Structure 1
Amino acid sequence: MATGENGQDGQDHELREALTRLVRQLVHDEPAAKRRGEDLMPILDEHLGVRADELPVVVERISVHRWADTDIALEAIAARDPGSRLLGVGGGDQRHHSSLGDLMSQAEWGRFSSGQVDRLNVPTGPDSERATVAFGLHLFHHDGSPLVVLQRVGNPQYGSESRLEVLARRTDDAAAMLAELREEAMRRSVLWRQVISFSGNPYERSMSGLVFHPRPDLPPDHVVLPEGTLQQVRAHVVGLAEHRDQLRGKGQHLKRGVLLYGPPGTGKTHTVRHLVGATSQATVVLLSGTEMAHVGAAAQIARAHQPAIVVIEDCDLIAEDRDLNYGGGSPLLFTLLDAMDGLDPDADVVFLLTTNRAEALEKALAQRPGRVDLAVEIPLPHEAARRALIELYGAHVGFSPPAVARAARESTGTTASYAKELVRRAVLLAAMDGREPGDDDLAAATAELQSDAAALTRALLGSGDGAGAD
């Protein structure tokens, strides 16, 4: 019986050998016009001075938001070698499923040949983009050592992740290049002094979920708040940053948290826009709604790109008091607390939070310096503020001062959002009649919004009937 089995094994072995010879013969006999592309193994062997497929592959995974930075840094490092080359890899979709080691092992089957370099366009700012290498081989010398780097972007379709795969005669040479690459990527990062958010909207200028926004230009006279309120917030966000050196010199912490709270529509987001515009040297990460799931990544970006601001709007969605939540609080609450605690005390990072429900916030937010150091109420505007808001939003309309004063007086308990909608409706009433807007339109819009039928609209604008008396 044993002899029979050995005989069968021998036949199987001979069959495999025969099939192997047949495949090799077919590959070698295939017309060059059909094969296309130059075999890459001889090129790699010659560049490295040894058999490439006998060397270990060093892998460096790249985070989504570091892809453009890595592409810029790798191009700069490779360009120092006048003889550097960038080669594409042929082979169709199959190569996306294969590591560099797998591709080299398939070379004898003619499946590791040169092709076009794959490129992926990614944004590098609100109005700029870069055609990064999505799949390509870099051949260059680093500090005299020959290296081969396969650069590939992650592709969810194939379940792959963004990474670099490095071949070097010594792993220390690969490690040294990768260490310099990280430093160069940080120094040249496209995120410095940008305003960014996380999004999966395919119609935005996104880089796998990262979106760049123009920095707002909102002067302080366009922010209508109670006297002294804006100055207080600016001093903590902008002024403190201007004195960072003195504070550090005296051993005082720079990381800080600011909470803006008050009814909906009172101007919290408007105030945030002003602060973002006033800190032109800061890297800003905006989080709201489902984007709050990225709070950990936002803190990492802020830590690496100081000075920085992390804006979390409606923070009560993830920072609700655990005593009010029978489920023990959102998992993101602990991520937020860890992110705020994980920064060094001298980190020039601001966590700028807004909420409509201050009473529902987790108490632990205020228990340590650097979480929330300053809480500022943004209340319903009083009459003088309402008048200023109507003047602001109607600056290009030309309502008379008495008409503006009357509209402000008749809108007790309303918000900044109400004032904006009031002016819009006045202009719309005139436009529907085919004429320029005037005082009568402002009065008509006021009557419309103050009617019983508009109670829900006022509520949606954040206003309450008779609330916040002057």
Structure 2
Amino acid sequence: MDASPPDDWSPVPGAPAAARSLPASDEQVNADADGTKGFVRAFRAFLDEVVAKERTTAEDHGPQIGEVVREHLGSAATVTPLVVREEIPGHALVDLDIALEVLAERGGGERVVGVGGGDQAHHQSFGDLLTRGYGFYGTGPVDHVNLPTGPDTTRRVIAFGVRLLTFRGQPLAVLQRAARPQYGRDSALEVACLDEDLAPAFIDEVRRLMLERSVLRGQVVSFSGSPFEPHSNGGITFVARPDVGEADVVLPPGALERIRRHVIGIGRQREQLVAAGQHLKRGVLLYGPPGTGKTHTVRHLVASAPGTTVVLLSGASLAYVTTAAQLARATQPAVVVLEDCDLVAEDRGMSPGERPLLFQLLDAMDGLDGDADVTFLLTTNRADLLERALAERPGRVDLAVEVPLPDLEARRQLLRLYARDLPLSDAALDDAAARSAGVTASFTKELLRRAVLVAATDGRPVQDADLAEALDELLSDAEQLTRSLLGSGGPGTPDEGPSPGADH
């Protein structure tokens, strides 16, 4: 059988047979070659025009950034400076800005220049910018951003700019950049110099100053995980230090004194303890039913430790316990507060393969040296869920204090505390205390608010009868769920036996 294709066969269906099979003539080949050469010449001219325009645009915006840096470094155009990059956590950009400013002042001042080229410049490393990478980058305005340095303060920080300064008598240039996730860039500093030993020494000094001058030191912060929270600095949010005095805390006799001695007293006696070979790191657990005042006690401790760094973790932010421990170690004296640990005792971290958060907490505590002046302050409604894990690692928590339901005397104190600005008689307050056995501090606070609301609805000051009416309402069957949500039992729940928080 003849296997040769038919005369009209073509790999392009539908094309005329004559057009499919005719070989190209020499004239056609030469014409194609000339066309290709013409295209190459035209494309080359186009590229030359683009480059010329880029150069003209850059010159219109000032000298090239590479030329400015080389002039500062004293290097020839043919010498490429050494560039060393250091990643910076997003929350530490303010610390970096402060550290670089300090070093600039020590070196006799600095000149700060911006980088032209629009968004394209943010894609480039410092080395690319200096060698003209993918374009011609002139000088331009310096990019700045306002970042929080506290609950009510901010600092204008360089977000993208080059600092020209000297260190140890030698010139160097530093590109300071804020994180730009859309360009695949994290916060960083990139150091350009001619001496290969200068950049590492400079970066070491920057790190030291960042720790020493950190705006987080002595502040109260929480981990939000989001840079878009108010007062947030790279996912860390500044919190105003609370104002809760000792008289505002109602606990069983001696309980608050024990807690304060452990959390605050150890730090105050730091030198004596270290000289005696004793460790400073400590763990404190406050446990008891919901609504009894554990968080209120924590707020008092935070208020009583001005100048101490406090990191607040609760809920999902407990996953940041390792980072919080590192921050506490760097800014000690510090307190790491972990609220409601029982709610995530078995939860895992940000990745499915990670260990339960409670064990991550214990690992973080183990990772600190004994002489670290750091307190881990835990609160829980279910100590039984934590006891086994804590017992298996003895010494991580060295003080556990119960915060029980308030007894009769404690309820009297709570009512007087929350009613101190109200015209209510002692007799009315004592009667309410006697009728409200088994309730929490949260219940007591809500009781007084309702009494004020009853009077306000009638357009008059609160009276003793309003307190009695509000208590009747809260103790009624209709408010059973409300009492449960306030951490209290049923109406008239009797006080338990002779526990530290029970009536005697």
Shift of 1:26: 3.4
Matched, 1:27 2:49: no
Residue of structure 1 equivalent to 2:15: none
The answer (yes or no) to whether the contact 2:66–2:132 under 8 Å persists in 1 is no
Alignment of 1:236-315 (within 5 A): 236-315=262-341
Alignment of 1:63-462 (within 5 A): 63-82=89-108, 84-106=110-132, 109-110=135-136, 112-199=137-224, 200=226, 202=228, 204-320=230-346, 331-361=356-386, 363-368=388-393, 370-462=395-487
Q: Using the alignment, how far apart are the partners of 1:53 and 1:156 within structure 2?
A: 32
Against the structure 1 CA distance between its residues 29 and 188, is the aligned structure 2 distance closer, same or farther, given a 3 Å change threshold?
closer
Q: CA RMSD in A?
A: 2.5
Structure 1 position 55, deviation (Å): 2.4
Question: Structure 1 residues 416, 52: closer, same or farther in 2, change over 3 A?
Answer: farther
* Matched residue type, 1:375: A
Instruction: Give the residue type in structure 1 aligned to 2:341.
Output: C
CA shift for structure 1 position 15? 7.3
Question: Counterparts of 1:52 and 1:63 in 2: how far apart (Å)?
Answer: 34
Tell me, in whole angstroms, the C-alpha distance in 1 between the residues paired with 2:354 and 2:442: 31
Cα distance in structure 2, aligned partners of 1:14 and 1:337: 70
**Contact 1:74/1:181, CA 8 A, preserved across alignment:** yes
**Contact map agreement 1:44 1:52 (CA 8 A) in 2:** no
Name the SS for the 1:171 alignment partner.
coil
- Tell me how far apart the structure 1 counterparts of residues 269 and 444 of structure 2 sit (CA, whole Å): 37
Any conservation in 2 of the 1:287–1:312 contact (CA below 8 Å)?
A: yes
Give, in whole Å, the separation in 1 of the partners of 2:396 and 2:126: 45
Give the Cα–Cα distance (whole angstroms) in 2 for the partners of residues 198 and 339 of structure 1.
Answer: 16
* TM-aligned CA distance change 1:214 to 1:170, over 3 Å: same
Instruction: Give the match's secondary structure for 1:361.
Output: helix
Q: CA deviation at 1:30?
A: 5.5
Partners in 2 of 1:24 and 1:53 — Cα distance? 23
SS at 2:259 equivalent: helix
CA contact (8 A) 2:229 2:235 kept: no
Following superposition, the deviation at residue 28 of structure 1 comes to 4.5
Structure 1 pair 167–362 and aligned structure 2 pair: CA distance change class (3 A)? farther
Deviation for aligned residue 1:14: 7.0
Aligned residues of 2:281 and 2:372 also touching (Cα < 8 A)? yes
Query: In 2, Cα distance between the equivalents of 1:31 and 1:198?
Result: 43
Contact map agreement 2:229 2:237 (CA 8 A) in 1: no
* Contact kept? 2:108, 2:166, Cα under 8 Å: no
Are residues 105 and 247 of structure 1, via their aligned partners in 2, closer, same or farther at CA, if it must alter by over 3 Å?
same
| SS of residue in 1 equivalent to 2:452 | helix
Q: With structure 2 as the length reference, what TM-score do the two structures score?
A: 0.85
User: CA–CA distance in 1 between the matches of 2:284 and 2:494?
Assistant: 26
Identity of paired residues, percent? Answer: 53
Q: Give 1:315's aligned amino acid.
A: C
Change (3 A) 1:31 1:91: closer
Deviation at 1:366, TM superposition (A): 3.6
Cα deviations by residue, 1:163-191 (Å, 9 ceiling, x for unpaired): 00111102210111111111111111111
| CA shift digits 1:220-267 (9 cap, x unpaired) | 111001111111111111122222222211211110100000000000
Residue 16 of structure 2: aligned partner: none
CA distance in 2, matches of 1:385, 1:31: 75
Q: Which has the larger radius of gyration?
A: 2
- 1:422 and 1:446 in contact (8 A); partners too: yes
Distance in 2 (alpha carbons) for counterparts of 1:76 and 1:432: 60
Instruction: Say if 1:310 and 1:352, in contact at 8 Å, map to a contact too.
Output: yes
Corresponding residue of 2:21: none
Once the two structures are TM-superposed, the CA of residue 107 in structure 1 deviates from its matched residue by 6.3
Structure 1 stretch displaced more, 416-425 or 17-26: 17-26
Whole-angstrom distance in 2 between the partners of 1:225 and 1:54: 68
CA contact (8 A) 2:227 2:234 kept: no
Residue 86 of structure 1 deviates from its aligned partner by: 0.3
Post-superposition offset of 1:83: 5.4
Measure how far apart 1:436 and its partner are: 0.2
- In 2, the alpha carbon distance for the partners of 1:386 and 1:104 equals 71
Take 1:371 and 1:31, find their aligned partners in 2: how far apart are those partners? 61
Equivalent position SS for 1:216: coil
Does the Cα contact within 8 Å between 1:314 and 1:356 map onto a contact in 2?
yes
Contact 2:107 2:169 in 1 (8 A): no
CA distance in 2, matches of 1:133, 1:91: 17
Unaligned runs of 5+ in 1: none
Closer/same/farther in 2, CA of residues 424 and 48 from structure 1, 3 Å limit? same
Distance 1:265 1:341, change over 3 A: same
Would you say the 8 A contact 2:283–2:399 is kept in 1?
Answer: yes
Q: 1:333 to 1:52 in 2, by over 3 A?
A: farther
Amino acid at match of 2:382: R
- 2: CA distance between counterparts of 1:407 and 1:56? 76
CA drift at 1:41: 1.9
Answer whether contact 2:412 2:429 (CA < 8 A) is retained.
yes
112-121 or 433-442: bigger deviation: 112-121
User: Partner letter of residue 212 of structure 1?
Assistant: F
Aligned residue number for residue 45 of structure 1:
70
User: Which 10-residue stretch deviates more, 210-219 or 134-143?
Assistant: 210-219
Tell me: CA distance 1:222–1:385, structure 2 relative to 1, closer, same or farther (3 Å): same
2:80·2:131 contact (CA, 8 Å) conserved in 1? no
Q: Distance in 2 between matches of 1:43 and 1:195?
A: 42
Give the partner amino acid of 1:344. Answer: D
The residue identity in structure 1 corresponding to 2:165 is F
